[in-house]
Amino acid sequence: MINTRFSVAIHILTLVATQNDKGVTSDFIAKSVNTNPVVIRRIGSLLKKANLLKGGPGVAGYSLVIEPSKITLLDIYRAVTSEEELFAVHDHPNPNCDVGRNIQATLDFSLTRAQKAMENELNKQTLADIIQHLSIQ
């Protein structure tokens, strides 16, 4: 299941890329996202682990590790989600039912194809594309 971490991560990186002269702190970002700074720090930590973002507590603000044109949306997606989050198949269907016995393998095949298509599309888009669509630079 996709949650808001992905869109918030894009928001964070976009803000850092476009407002870097303003000391982009977790408080500053939280006001833009309209959330608690703790949420920003948690997602920021994931982005730092993925080597997309640097900075944080004790530093004058966040900054990008690499330029926006080299950060794909797939990089961001992978930084903040686990592989199994997009589609979860329910556990323990009834093995005595014809559908229950086969549904997991069938859905795994179909949903894996769908996720791969989504990932291919995210890999074609960069943070620079998002910034360009915002029309603020």
pLDDT of residue 123: 98
Bridge partners of 63, per DSSP, are 54
CATH class of domain segment(s) 5-86+126-134: mainly alpha
Structure tokens at 136: 């603020």
Distance CA 115, CA 119 (A): 6
Residues (pLDDT < 50) of the chain are 1
Q: 48 in helix, strand or coil? A: helix
pLDDT of residue 1: 47
pLDDT of residue 57: 60
Could you tell me the pTM of the whole model?
A: 0.84
Q: What angle do CA 118, 121, 125 make, to 5 degrees?
A: 135
